[in-house]
């Protein structure tokens, strides 16, 4: 093995190429972010409704029939104290 240190050659990049690449990547990111925001805006209400329904179903599964979550919650707190 030699003790020589290899140096990397300096790459000469054209500033026009760097600007073009930067603008292209920035434009792509902006378009994707706008589309993602649009999709989120369209689907947010549906997702919230599905989450609320799933939460209600889960609460009904663990509470007694005819009772509400609040009644069961406070009853559980009284038992634990």
pLDDT at residue number 69: 59
Task: Please name the residues in contact with 64: beta carbons below 8 A apart, sequence gap of 6 or more.
Answer: 72
pLDDT at residue number 22: 96
The DSSP secondary structure of 26-46, one letter per residue, reads HHHHHHHHHHHHHHHHHHHHH
Q: What would the pLDDT profile of 54-76 be if each residue is shown by its tens digit?
A: 888 887 777 666 666 566 666 66
Contacts 24+ apart (CB under 8 A), 67-76: none
Q: Return d(Cα 42, Cα 47) in angstroms, integer.
A: 10
The segments of the chain whose pLDDT lies below 70 read 1-3, 63-81
- Global confidence as pTM: 0.54
């Amino acid at each position: 093995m030699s003790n020589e240190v290899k140096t990397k050659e300096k790459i000469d990049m054209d500033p026009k190429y760097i600007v073009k690449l930067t603008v292209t990547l920035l434009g792509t990111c902006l378009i994707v972010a706008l589309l993602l925001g649009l999709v989120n805006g369209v689907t947010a209400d549906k997702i919230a409704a599905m989450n609320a329904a799933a939460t209600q179903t889960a609460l009904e599964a663990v509470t007694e029939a005819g009772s509400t979550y609040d009644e069961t919650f406070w009853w559980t707190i009284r038992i634990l104290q």
